Amino acid sequence: MMKHNFDELVDRKGTDCKKWDTYAEDVIPMWIADTDFKCPQPVIDAMVKRAQHGIFGYPVNVPTFEQSIVNWQKKRFGWNVELDWVEYTPAVIPAIVYAMRAFTEPGDNVVIQMPAYHPFHEIIPNNGRHILGNNLILKEDGSYEVDFKNLEELLSKKRTTMFLLCSPHNPVGKCFTREELNKMSELCLKHNVFVVSDEIHSDIVYAGSKHIPFGSLSQAAADNCVVCVNPSKTFNIAGVRTGAAVIPNRHNHDLFYKPLEDLKAYGRTIFGTLPIEVSYNECDYYADQLLDYLTGNLEYLKKFVLEKIPKIKVTKTQATYLIWLNCKDLNMGPKELSKFFLDQAKVGMNEGSTFGPGGAGFMRLNIACPRSRLVEALNRIEAAVNKL
């Protein structure tokens, strides 16, 4: 088995890198959701080999792309996906937009769970739909639970036609149980609400939790959903801008395809599909080792913060490498909090209020980096907090 060096420090500055070229030279960026790890060597080798061919004309759509999605869902999650359920999409957010256009009408309500991944706050109103926020409940132990009473109230509203689920949840790091997912499915079916499940973080689930694809819950759930997947978070290939939608119901698949057809968004890219196929078909070893490494980073973070920065609380993280930090004891407003970490600690994070209700007083920290970089960032944060 190949071994990946996750301790390697790779200089990403000056490479048109959004994560590293946004902030000043003296800031450690730990915000946007990509990793600081090189992608798997088989992906690099395949891309180089293809580039050396020297001709990059229109590609034909071959089923090897769909097959790689089928393979991964089966071996990692036990979901028996059929080849014709899979549809190429230019990343996950566009897939969600296509689903919104296919299964809702302008003026309809879309339910999301707050605090919510910030692009959700944009794509829904930008497409003439209304956001209904189902606020997740923060418990004393730092974990989150679903407010099902409120969820049903929102789903039952006359013009609510879609539930946009982020599973696992970004930013709070919650991995939903089978019981929770089944209850969501039952409520959506009861009120005739279509489900779009963004499962982009499904590979990063820590011991004690298990990711369950929404479409695998039951036949009824499968017939009422689109599941969006993308290996970008796992294999650090977000820049290829390619994902897939898994749509078990043929009628729903046809409806989903119509907006792609209208927008001519079905054209695949040579360097978009290739790394996904190689990642899913050849790089299980990398996904396994990444999770082990991130587990070590998370444990280091929790111990460090508990012992040295008690004013900050690490909420219970079951999934993702995006850690939700409760900074309310610092007694700062959202803008002040963000400015404090950026100017005083020289660490760039996502400020919590950008994720909507329930986010104020929190910061989102990306721990997908070499351990030495995480140590340096935490030392900076400790020094800054201790000066308050």
Same domain membership, residue 361 and residue 277: no
Q: Which two tokens stand for residue 188?
A: 């959506």
User: How many other C-beta atoms can be found within 10 angstroms of the C-beta atom of residue 249?
Assistant: 17
Final residue of a domain: which of 255, 282, 309?
282
Domain boundary among 238, 256, 282: 282
Same-domain status, 221 and 154: yes
Which CATH number do you get for residue 140?
3.40.640.10
- Is the pLDDT score of 265 beyond 90? no
Shared domain check, 78 and 64 = yes
Token match 């189902």: residue? 134
Chain segment 203-254, per-residue pLDDT in tens: 999 999 999 999 999 999 999 999 999 999 999 999 999 999 999 999 999 9
Contacts of 266 (CB under 8 A, 6+ apart): 88, 257, 260
Structural domain contains residue 51: no
Q: Are 46 and 286 in contact (CB under 8 A)?
A: no
| Domain end marker among 248, 282, 316 | 282
Q: The CATH number of the domain where 381 resides is what?
A: 3.90.1150.10
Pair 240, 193 in one domain: yes
CA distance linking residue 136 with residue 139, whole number of Å: 10
**What does each C-alpha distance from 374 to 174, 304, 305 come to in angstroms?**
22, 11, 12
Note whether 244 and 299 are same-domain residues. Answer: no
Q: What is the pLDDT of residues 310-345, one digit of tens each?
A: 999 999 999 999 999 999 999 999 999 999 999 999
Degrees to nearest 5, angle at CA 359 with 353 and 360: 65
Task: Examine residue 36 and state whether it is found in any structural domain, yes or no.
Answer: yes
pTM: 0.97
C-alpha distances in Å from residue 122, one per residue of 3, 106, 129, 131, 148: 40, 15, 10, 10, 25
207 lies in the same domain as 312:
no
Amino acid at site 122: E
Domain span holding position 353: 28-41+284-386
Phi-psi region of 358 (alpha: psi -120 to 50; beta: other; left: phi over 0): left
Are residues 247 and 318 part of one domain?
Answer: no
The dihedral through the CA atoms of 189, 191, 194, 199 has a sign that is negative
CB 165 within 8 A of CB 137: no
Q: Is the same domain home to 292 and 274? A: no
Q: Domain count of the chain?
A: 2
